Amino acid sequence: MALLDRCTGGHWDYQITNIHTTSDRLILTARITIYADEGSFTREATGTETLKEVYFDKTTQSKQIREWAYGDTSSKSESMAFRRAAAKFGLGLYLYQKD
């Protein structure tokens, strides 16, 4: 957000445009719009997070379902979508470098 503020002078907007769930995932779509003298420029991206997992329990010898308790799935999905949308503008690409 600070990078967007610095690069655009604060002339940008952020929206969550869609939230969808499946049996085991949350999928969130985010949109960033940058406003310039030439017009507005928009990029969208999705973020996803697993809500639960299926695993094999050796004790009971059966498949079990475990809900994720680590972190907030909606916050993590939103963060991923925001970073991906910003990257489509070329911002924050260093976050994806694997040095």
Q: What is the largest CA-CA distance in the chain?
A: 64
Name residue 9's amino acid. G
Q: Is residue 96 part of a domain?
A: no
- Residue 57 tokens read as 């329990």
- Which tens digits make up the pLDDT trace of 19-50? 999 888 899 999 999 999 999 999 999 999 98
Q: Look at the chain and report how many structural domains it folds into.
A: 1
Which residue in this structure is represented by tokens 């979508």? Answer: 81
Query: Within a domain: residue 60?
Result: yes
95 belongs to a structural domain: no
Domain that holds residue 37: 2-90
Reported pTM: 0.77
Q: Which amino acid is at 48?
A: T
33 domain-assigned: yes
DSSP H/E element including 79 = helix 73-87
User: In one letter, which amino acid is 7?
Assistant: C
User: At residue 94, does pLDDT exceed 80?
Assistant: no
* Helix boundaries (H) for 14-72: none
Q: Is 69 part of a structural domain of the chain? A: yes
* Least confident among 34-38, 58-62, 93-97: 93-97
